[in-house]
C-alpha cells in the first residue's frame, strides 16, 4: 500500500506525546437524532493551535530536530503553517511559512505571532509551494510538506488510533478531504485496526483537487477559488508521492458540498454543539445535515465526524450566523 506501517503510527504517537493533546470524542445528541444512529465528534479544535495539523507537524519537526535541523519552511493554507510555527518555536527552530493571498488574515497573523516568517505570494497554494521550494533550493531550509510526507501522515494517523481505542465499534468515519494527509492517515490507521470501518471524505464543490484527481485517476491541477472551507483549498501536487495513492485505495465515498450547506454546518455547530468552527471543520456536520450520511446500508453507525479546526475569522463567523438568524426570523 505504501511505506507507511502501523508501527510508524504508534512511534509517532510516542514522539508527539506531551506536545499534542489526545482529543475528546464526544457524543452529539442533535446529530444522532438526524442520522438515526450514534454520532460522535472528534474535537481537534482543542489542540493548542486550534487544529489537527499540530500532530503531523510536530512529528515531522521532532524528527528533523533530532537530525540537527535548525531551519524549516512549509507552504500552507493556514493551519499547517500555524502548526509548523508552533512546533518550531517549541523546539527552537527557525520557521518560514509560505501562503497565498487567499489565506485569511487571521491565519497569517497567527503564524507571525508564533515568531515564524510569513511569505505571502501569489493566488494559489501552488504559488506558495513554489516559493517554499525556492527557499529550500536557495537558502538551505528543510521542507515540511503540509500533507504529502510519511511523517506528517503518521502524525495525523494518530487520530485513527485514538478513535479505534475510544470507540471500538465505530462503523463510519467522516473526514474533511483536501490534500489527503489527514484522510490517508486516519483511514490507514483505522482500517489496519478495524478493516470493515467505512471512510467517507467530504469536501467543497469548488476547487476540490483530490476529488478531481481521484476522478481522473491521477493528480491534476484545479483552479483555486474562494470558499467557506478555505482550509480544504489547494492542489495535491502533480508529483504526489503518498496521499493520492493511499486515499484512492482507502476511500469508500466522496461527498461534495455547496457553500450554503457548509454555512449550515457552521451554524449548527455554533447553535447546537456550542462550537465555533471554520468551514473545513464543519463539512462532516454539513454532509450529515444534508442527508448525505447515515443512510448507507453498509454503515449505520456509530459515526465519527472529524472536527478539524476552529480557526475561522470571527467577523466571517458572525456574518454567517447572523445571516442564518435573519433568515430564520424573516
Provide the residue ranges of all domains of the chain, joining segments of one domain with +.
Answer: 6-51+149-329, 53-143
Question: How confident is the model at residue 300, as a pLDDT?
Answer: 72
Is the pLDDT confidence value at 3 over 90? no
Is the pLDDT confidence value at 286 over 90? yes
Question: How confident is the model at residue 185, as a pLDDT?
Answer: 98
pLDDT tens digits for range 133-166: 999 999 999 999 999 999 999 999 999 999 999 9
Question: How confident is the model at residue 288, as a pLDDT?
Answer: 96
Rounded CA Rg of the chain: 18
CATH of domain 53-143: 3.40.50.1100
Question: How confident is the model at residue 37, as a pLDDT?
Answer: 93
Confidence of residue 327 (pLDDT cuts 50, 70, 90): confident
Question: How confident is the model at residue 123, as a pLDDT?
Answer: 86
Helix axes 181-193, 6-16, angle to 10 degrees: 110
Region at 207 (left for phi over 0; alpha for psi -120 to 50; beta for the rest) = left
Compute the distance between CA of residue 262 and CA of residue 280 in angstroms, rounded to an integer. Answer: 8
Among residues 185, 202, 197, the alpha carbon closest in space to that of 16 is found at 185
Strand residue runs (E) in 212-327:
253-257, 303-307
Can you tell me the mean pLDDT for 261-275? 98
Sorted by sequence, the CB contacts under 8 Å of residue 295 that are 6+ apart come out as none
Is the pLDDT confidence value at 236 over 80? yes
In degrees rounded to 5, what are phi and psi of residue 268?
-60, -45
Is the pLDDT confidence value at 298 over 70? no
Compute the distance between CA of residue 208 and CA of residue 157 in angstroms, rounded to an integer. Answer: 22
* Residues making up the chain, counted from first to last: 330
In degrees rounded to 5, what are phi and psi of residue 258?
-85, 170
Strand ranges across the sheet with 198-204: 25-27, 39-43, 303-307, 172-176, 198-204, 253-257
pLDDT tens digits for range 16-54: 999 999 999 999 999 999 999 999 999 999 999 999 999
pLDDT tens digits for range 61-82: 999 999 999 999 999 888 899 9
Question: How confident is the model at residue 296, as a pLDDT?
Answer: 55
**Cis peptide, bond prior to residue 302, ω within 30 of zero:** yes
Q: Which residue has the higher pLDDT, 248 or 328?
A: 248
CATH of domain 6-51+149-329: 3.40.50.1100
Tracing cell 487571521 back to the chain, one arrives at 106
Can you tell me the mean pLDDT for 305-323? 95
Confidence of residue 103 (pLDDT cuts 50, 70, 90): confident
Question: How confident is the model at residue 150, as a pLDDT?
Answer: 97
Instruction: Please name every residue paired with 95 in a beta bridge, in sequence order, or none if there are none.
Output: 72
Question: How confident is the model at residue 2, as a pLDDT?
Answer: 67
Question: How confident is the model at residue 143, as a pLDDT?
Answer: 96
Among residues 312, 316, 318, 19, the alpha carbon closest in space to that of 155 is found at 19
Question: How confident is the model at residue 235, as a pLDDT?
Answer: 87
Q: Average pLDDT, whole number, for the chain?
A: 94
SS3 state of residue 303: strand
Among residues 190, 228, 252, 241, the alpha carbon closest in space to that of 309 is found at 228
Confidence of residue 294 (pLDDT cuts 50, 70, 90): low
Q: Which residue has the higher pLDDT, 326 or 132?
A: 132
Amino acid at each position: 500500500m505504501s511505506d507507511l506501517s502501523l508501527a510508524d503510527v504508534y512511534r509517532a504517537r510516542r514522539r508527539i506525546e506531551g506536545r499534542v493533546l489526545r482529543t475528546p470524542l464526544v457524543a452529539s445528541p442533535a446529530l444522532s437524532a438526524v442520522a438515526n444512529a450514534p454520532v460522535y465528534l472528534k474535537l481537534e479544535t482543542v489542540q493548542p493551535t486550534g487544529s489537527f495539523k499540530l500532530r503531523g507537524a510536530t512529528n515531522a519537526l521532532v524528527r528533523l530536530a533530532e537530525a540537527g535541523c535548525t531551519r524549516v519552511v512549509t507552504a500552507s493554507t493556514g493551519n499547517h503553517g500555524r502548526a509548523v510555527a508552533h512546533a518550531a518555536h517549541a523546539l527552537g527552530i527557525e520557521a518560514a511559512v509560505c501562503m497565498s493571498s487567499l489565506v485569511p488574515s487571521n491565519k497569517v497573523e497567527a503564524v507571525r505571532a508564533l515568531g515564524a516568517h510569513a511569505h505571502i505570494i501569489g493566488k494559489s497554494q501552488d504559488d506558495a509551494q513554489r516559493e517554499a521550494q525556492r527557499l529550500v533550493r536557495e537558502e538551505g531550509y528543510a521542507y515540511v510538506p503540509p500533507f504529502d510526507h510519511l511523517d506528517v501522515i503518521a502524525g495525523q494517523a494518530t487520530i485513527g488510533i485514538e478513535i479505534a481505542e475510544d470507540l471500538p465499534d465505530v462503523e463510519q468515519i467522516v473526514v474533511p478531504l483536501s490534500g489527503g494527509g489527514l484522510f490517508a492517515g486516519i483511514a490507514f490507521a483505522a482500517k489496519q485496526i478495524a478493516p470493515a470501518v467505512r471512510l467517507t471524505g467530504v469536501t467543497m464543490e469548488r476547487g476540490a483537487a483530490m476529488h478531481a484527481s481521484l476522478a481522473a485517476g491521477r493528480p491534476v491541477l484545479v483552479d483555486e477559488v474562494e470558499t467557506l472551507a478555505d482550509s480544504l483549498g489547494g492542489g495535491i501536487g502533480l508529483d504526489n508521492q503518498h496521499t493520492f495513492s493511499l486515499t484512492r485505495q482507502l476511500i469508500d465515498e466522496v461527498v461534495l458540498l455547496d457553500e450554503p450547506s457548509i454555512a449550515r454546518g457552521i451554524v449548527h455547530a455554533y447553535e447546537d454543539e456550542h462550537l465555533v468552527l471554520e468551514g473545513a471543520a464543519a463539512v462532516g456536520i454539513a454532509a450529515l445535515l444534508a442527508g448525505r450520511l447515515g443512510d448507507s446500508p453498509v454503515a449505520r453507525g456509530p459515526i465519527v465526524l472529524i472536527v478539524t479546526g476552529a480557526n475561522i475569522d470571527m467577523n466571517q463567523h458572525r456574518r454567517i450566523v447572523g445571516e442564518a438568524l435573519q433568515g430564520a426570523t424573516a
